[in-house]
């Protein structure tokens, strides 16, 4: 423990454990201390972020590097700001004497000697900050490293916000070596081993430990307290209990301050330093499930618009909330989940939960109504992006309205959320939300059908979104019934926007069933409605829809012309998701014309957009289209894997392909069966189903570039039977012939025969060579 030895040689606390996961922060703060103008560096951050531990390590490293003396002043027990000077003086060896110039004594004691003073826990003594400033002025060779949940606001101060520890990504779980050195996981492992020396990272517990670190948001105190629980709890039990982290994250170590023995105590220390107005806002902010703006906070928390900026700024300065990166137009903020849980406890204890949740639901229902009113219009894009950022709060508001049976608000929220999930290809989730609301609105005791204008409009919006989702999930009969009902209601209320949208999707329903003429009539009626309403985006969608209809009925030249026009329109409107739809439609049309070189870049553009906005249905469409391209170029292995990957994505989000698209998929599958043989084609499609998502996207892009694996210039697929592939996979798993026979339900002798055939086909002589080939083919040991 090098940092402990450093600390012992100075007047610093001696750490009892390893300093883990802060190499970047240690280097950054050490660099600040080395700068001549940085006389005071203040480490700020929320409770439990590890400010004190980082300060001790930085001070020890700086003292060793510079040769100066370092001392540590713990201000946590000090309650009177007037006593800070006395504590600082004693730390540097000056005994305060009454009636004397303490500042002068300090200056004389320090003199020309370089010194570093660590002032720990300054947040409750900020009134003493001017005295600290005077000390810095009187002692030019003195440097200070302070820790505080709020900066001291001195001219000599350089603030360093301490970030959470880096957390693992989902892809890191497969690499145990890489996962073990992730800062959050490394801290968890080190502290777990102190309580349980036999604890180790394994492939079985790796996902659970990674999940724990992510759930704890990289907060060092929370991770250390959780690690101590691993002496009693399994990783799975720990993760399952983190829903009530305040109860779980409490320790029993006797030689640490009480505020560091439990997460609740650490947060309570900061909460008690707030004034009554700040406490009320902090409590009420706990109802937000995700990020929020100043306007959101004012509306939900009952703060006057003119006061919310100062109140939020104060909590931000005190490290109790954080500003989110990314949005350059409107500032957004959030709260660490640990702080949110504590704040929610306080909200409940003040009997404010019900009224705050009601304001929250009212606020987000209003936003949802504005979003639904923008569906089909050029303003839709901005609202979709906003809904993505606030999806968790919209859902929480919907849950509240369903319980409270607030039908009008529930309708607005369900329509907005349903459309958002449709644009993100998450069809099953969107359908579940609208299905939860429709019975409430359509029941015999409901007045939604003939309520006020807002309620009737909300019902119309939900009927349309429900019909769209039913069409997208393959329930054409239900889709038609819902959309016809929505059309009748919208037409009766002279609502051109909703009526045109209903017509457009009735056209899709008809096209999916092969009713070409009816589809054309619906789409033309939709286009007329969009034009009458001056809706440029709607007109672009009508061209797109008519283009898909022309493609499916075989009028490829007209289809290409219409889809090019819609693509141009959507580019002008700067709506990437719509661009992807037209690029995909045009790409599939050009593919059908045999113009693969023109089709590939369009399909690549669509795939990149769908991947960027996380639309799995769109990704699946592009993978299917590129599987067709690959099969046309005799790249059968790539085509088969992409076909399987697309099928898996569609199944995950309940996105059943329309009949015309299913016909194209089936045609590709027939080509693959003929070219590869039914067994190999099926096996490769199955392999595609289990392919990691990013790997499948990479394969699709490789088809675009002409460098896809499995192409004719690569080794051909070895014609093993499905049973032989099972044997190969089990050999690679290390099983004997007898064990393989038991797994597959065949005799040991039959296993030997299969293995002999495999070796002959692969032209190898040993089980090791068979196993090596299995690895290159990504064969799984699971029997099919």
377-534 has which fold? 1.25.40
Pick the CATH number of 2-161 from 3.40.50.300, 3.65.10.10, 3.30.1300.10, 3.20.20.70: 3.40.50.300
- In the DSSP assignment, the letter for residue 164 is P
The 10s digit of each residue's pLDDT in 518-529 is 999 999 999 999
Do the bridges between strand 322-323 and strand 69-74 make them parallel or antiparallel, or are there none, so unpaired? unpaired
The per-residue DSSP string of 462-529 comes to HHHHHHHHHHHTT-HHHHHHHHHHHHHHHHHTT-HHHHHHHHHHHHHHHHHTT-HHHHHHHHHHHHHH
Domain boundaries, the chain: 2-161, 170-247, 274-351, 377-534, 564-705, 722-776
Beta carbons of 743 and 783 less than 8 angstroms apart: yes
CA dist 442 → 420, 438, 464 (Å): 22, 6, 14
Domain 564-705 in CATH 3.40.50? no
pTM over 0.85: no
Q: What is the pLDDT of residue 719?
A: 65
The per-residue DSSP string of 660-697 comes to HHHHHHHHHHHHHHHHH-HHHHHHHHHHHHTS-HHHHH
Q: What is the pLDDT of residue 481?
A: 96
Quote the mean pLDDT of the chain: 88
**Architecture of the domain whose range is 274-351:** Orthogonal Bundle (1.10)
Beta carbons of 188 and 130 less than 8 angstroms apart: no
> Rounded to 5 degrees, what are φ and ψ at 161?
-70, 125
The 10s digit of each residue's pLDDT in 382-426 is 999 999 999 999 999 999 999 999 999 999 999 999 999 999 988
CA dist 657 → 6, 60, 432, 570, 646 (Å): 66, 64, 19, 24, 10
pLDDT surpasses 50 at 8: no
| Percent of the chain residues topping a pLDDT of 90 | 61
722-776 has which fold? Arc Repressor Mutant, subunit A (1.10.10)
**Could you tell me the pLDDT band of residue 692, with boundaries at 50, 70 and 90?**
confident
The residues pairing with 146 across neighbouring beta strands, listed in sequence order, are 42, 119
The 10s digit of each residue's pLDDT in 333-347 is 999 999 999 999 999
pLDDT surpasses 80 at 456: no
CA torsion angle 767 772 776 781 (round to 10): 50
Same fold? 274-351, 564-705 = no
The token pair that represents 644 in the structure block: 């399987």
Q: List CB contacts of 481: < 8 A, sequence separation 6 or more.
A: 467
The 10s digit of each residue's pLDDT in 508-564 is 999 988 899 999 999 999 999 999 999 999 999 999 999 999 999 999 999 999 999
The 10s digit of each residue's pLDDT in 741-783 is 877 777 787 788 788 888 887 777 788 778 777 766 666 555 4
pLDDT surpasses 50 at 784: no
The residues pairing with 40 across neighbouring beta strands, listed in sequence order, are 144, 157
């Amino acid at each position: 423990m090098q940092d402990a030895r450093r600390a012992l040689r100075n007047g610093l606390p001696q750490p009892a454990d390893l300093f883990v996961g802060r190499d970047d922060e240690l280097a950054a703060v050490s660099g600040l201390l080395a700068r001549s103008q940085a006389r005071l560096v203040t480490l700020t951050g929320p409770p439990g972020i590890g400010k004190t531990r980082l300060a001790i390590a930085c001070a020890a490293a700086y003292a060793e590097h510079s040769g100066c003396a370092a001392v540590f002043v713990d201000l946590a027990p000090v309650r009177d700001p007037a006593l800070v000077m006395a504590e600082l003086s004693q730390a540097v060896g000056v005994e305060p004497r009454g009636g004397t110039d303490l500042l002068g004594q300090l200056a004389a004691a320090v003199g020309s000697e370089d010194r570093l003073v660590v002032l720990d826990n300054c947040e409750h003594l900020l009134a003493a900050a001017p005295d600290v400033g005077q000390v810095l002025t009187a002692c030019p060779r003195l440097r200070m490293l302070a820790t505080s949940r709020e900066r001291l606001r001195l001219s000599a101060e350089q603030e360093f916000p301490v970030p959470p520890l880096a957390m693992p990504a989902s892809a890191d779980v497969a690499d145990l070596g890489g996962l073990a050195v992730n800062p959050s996981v490394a801290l968890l492992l080190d502290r777990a081993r102190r309580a349980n020396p036999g604890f180790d990272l394994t492939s079985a517990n790796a996902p659970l430990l990674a999940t724990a670190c992510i759930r704890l948001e990289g907060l060092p105190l929370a991770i250390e307290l959780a690690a101590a629980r691993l002496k009693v709890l399994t990783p799975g039990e720990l993760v399952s209990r983190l829903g009530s982290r305040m109860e779980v994250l409490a320790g029993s170590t006797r030689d640490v301050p009480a505020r560091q023995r439990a997460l609740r105590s650490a947060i309570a220390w900061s909460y008690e330093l707030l004034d009554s107005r700040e406490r009320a806002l902090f409590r009420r902010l706990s109802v937000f499930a995700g990020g929020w703006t100043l306007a959101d906070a004012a509306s939900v928390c009952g703060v006057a618009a003119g006061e919310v900026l100062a109140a939020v700024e104060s909590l931000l300065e005190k490290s109790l909330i954080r500003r989110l990166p990314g949005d350059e137009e409107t500032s957004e903020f959030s709260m660490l989940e640990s702080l949110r849980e504590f704040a929610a406890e306080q909200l409940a204890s003040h009997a404010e939960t019900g009224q705050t949740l009601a304001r929250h639901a009212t606020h987000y229902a209003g936003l949802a109504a504005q979003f639904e009113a923008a569906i089909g219009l050029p303003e839709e894009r901005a609202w979709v992006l906003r809904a993505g950022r606030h999806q968790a709060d919209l859902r929480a508001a919907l849950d509240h309205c369903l319980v409270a049976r607030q039908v009008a608000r529930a309708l607005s929220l369900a329509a907005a959320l349903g459309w958002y999930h449709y644009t993100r290809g998450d069809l099953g989730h969107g359908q579940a939300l609208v299905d939860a609301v429709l019975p409430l609105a359509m029941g015999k005791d409901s007045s939604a059908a003939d309520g006020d204008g807002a309620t009737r409009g909300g019902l119309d919006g939900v009927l349309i979104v429900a019909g769209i989702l039913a069409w997208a999930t393959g329930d054409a009969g239900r889709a038609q019934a819902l959309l016809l009902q929505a059309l009748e209601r919208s037409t009766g209320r002279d609502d051109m926007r909703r009526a045109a949208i209903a017509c457009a999707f009735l056209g899709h329903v008809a096209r999916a069933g092969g009713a070409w003429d009816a589809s054309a009539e619906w789409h033309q009626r939709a286009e007329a409605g969009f034009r009458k309403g001056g809706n440029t985006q709607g007109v672009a969608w009508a061209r797109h829809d008519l283009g898909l209809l022309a493609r499916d009925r075989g009028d490829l030249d007209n289809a290409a012309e219409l889809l090019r026009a819609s693509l141009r329109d959507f580019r002008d409107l700067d709506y990437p998701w719509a661009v992807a739809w037209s690029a995909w439609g045009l790409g599939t049309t050009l593919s059908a014309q045999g113009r693969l070189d023109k089709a590939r870049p369009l399909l690549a553009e669509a795939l990149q957009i769908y991947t960027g906005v996380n639309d799995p249905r769109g990704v699946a469409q592009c993978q299917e289209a590129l599987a067709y391209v690959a099969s046309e170029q005799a790249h059968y292995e790539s085509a088969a894997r992409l076909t399987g990957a697309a099928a898996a994505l569609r199944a995950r989000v309940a996105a059943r392909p329309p009949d015309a698209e299913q016909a194209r998929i089936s045609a590709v599958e027939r080509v693959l069966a003929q070219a590869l043989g039914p067994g190999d084609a099926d096996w490769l499609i199955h392999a595609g189903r289990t392919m990691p998502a990013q790997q499948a996207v990479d394969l699709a892009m490789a088809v675009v570039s002409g460098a896809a694996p499995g192409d004719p210039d690569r080794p051909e697929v070895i014609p093993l039977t499905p049973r032989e592939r099972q044997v190969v996979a089990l050999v690679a798993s290390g099983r004997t012939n007898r064990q393989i026979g038991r797994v597959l339900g065949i005799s040991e002798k039959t296993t030997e025969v299969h293995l002999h055939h495999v070796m002959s086909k692969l032209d190898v002589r040993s089980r090791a060579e068979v196993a090596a080939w299995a690895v290159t083919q990504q064969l799984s040991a699971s029997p099919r």
